[in-house]
Chain A
Amino acid sequence: MIAFSPTEEQTLIAETVKRFARERMRSVFREAEESSELPWEVVNKGWQLGLLSAAIPEDYGGLGDAQPTVTGALAAEELGWGDLALALAIMVPGLVALPILYAGTEEQKRTYLPRFSDEGYPKVTAALIEPRFRFDPAALETTAVRQGNEYVLSGRKAYVPLAAGAELFLIYAAEKGQTQAFLVERGAPGLTVGERERLMGVKALDTYELALDGVRVPASARLGGDAGIDINRLLNHSRVALAALAVGLARGAYEYALEYAKNRVAFGEPIAQRQSIAFMLAEMAIEIEGVRLSTWEAAWRLDQGEEATRECVLARQNANAMALMVADRAVQILGGHGYIREYPVELWLRNARGFATFDGLAMI
């Protein structure tokens, strides 16, 4: 069938996350941004919502959602509405758990996955992006070379979230030209966490460069064992996650601009009563809904086990452009106030621009 109604369970999850976003994230996000510090109490609470655990099958200690990616998209939209930096922080453990779930060997799944259903926020992270404009997830410059029973990793990574406190790293590297992933423990000789990065937005989330200087890991650290990984499949799960977060961010900016336009009086009436403003809002609403449905469809195809690269790529690209357009218009509708940091829309504009860069930085 063709149907657009989430199940009761999904609606319940989305509403729970929505309440969390409104009550916990929205009360702290500006201060977190200005201070460049994660409010860990909120991140921990967000983790305890158990969204990742719900997506992990019961065999590995989770709850085993039947439509994990669709449910993930619904939840990610709400988190994205709350705040992008906090949402990404809450989702970081998934950057390790989900690749293990989708590509790991049975032994890797049994070893690592149960810890992702714990109450405590797992101190893990993943490193995919590299600091160069020609960055291509399918053609990495970081290399993995097999030497006997070990792999030797060399290269530089960037945008590695929460690396300073991470105890386990999932590091993507090219082995014979193919992108593979390796589980690396903290303290491995040659692994250096660099300076904290200074970004345009999502400032509350600390990200780092990572240097790999001949880091040796046992052959068993290769994700998926001999079979390795299909990076594109993992990227598809990232693409829909980013698209869903973008929908949430855009919805937040749209709702804010709409309320503002109804209350801001110019020339004797609310500016929303002018077509120039009202039409902008109408187009924002239409584009948000179009991308939301495209994201749901891509997520649904992944849950069906279909090859859905085209749908995932298009949903994400459209989401990037849409979020930027909506956030920009929100700033425009607020006029001078939109440019001021006492209002949230300038922050949303800076965050929206990030979606095009955040390959692999969120996953569902």
Chain B
Amino acid sequence: MKRGFFDSISYALLYEESNSILHAVDPRAKLLYVVLTIAISMIVARLDILLLLFIANTLLLTLYRNLVIKFIFLLRGLAPFIAIIVVFNIIVSLVFTDISIAEATMVQIRSIARILCLAIALLILLSTTTPWQIVQAFTKIGITYTYVYPFIIALRFIPIVFNEMKNIYDAQRARGLEFEKGRVTDRIRRLAAIIIPTIVCSIIRAKDLIEAMELRGFGYSKKRTFYKSIKFRKIDILFITVITALHLAAIVATFITPAIL
């Protein structure tokens, strides 16, 4: 494990202020985008279609230049895990089923394409939308904010926790702990040196946050006002149309066109 891993993840998922189009898009439209991506990954199983979708999604990223960089950082951070899972799955399917290695590999490539599409959708949602916007989006469809905030805060803490893990990693290495050496089992055991302090520090942070929220009236009432209200504008309608058309086209194409890959 390298220090860059924590850096990559924490930077990729960090919200940044900007005037990009993606920041301006209504949170509901972005939530719809995530839902559609999840639906697609369950329905579509053809690699050619998934790859086309992946290209379309990547084009969407270019609307906010930093997102492309963030995506690369995210990939860099997740690559080892994806690789481990893929290799593990291929081995398991070769040992326990009678499919060929080519087929097993294809299955894995398809799931990577799905993961990447989903990663892009979530990345766009998390790094261009604020918790406040998401909470309001859910409130508009009748879900009480007290249920939504905890989830959003959990997501918001991911980059912060990774950043803290980086500092913990530094502190442990300063005590001579080497993460790159030794057998796999030893390396895994050494992770305790990072995970335990991370959990302790996270609990302390969560305790502070709960107190601070309580004292600022969180949960005072089931209702909540919003100081400005999110409204669908032309850009949102455009975004929704493009996204929906794209995903519907993908589903239709899956069933009527012949498979290339």
A and B from one complex: no
Please give the residue numbers on chain B whose beta carbons come within 8 Å of chain A beta carbons, in ascending order: none
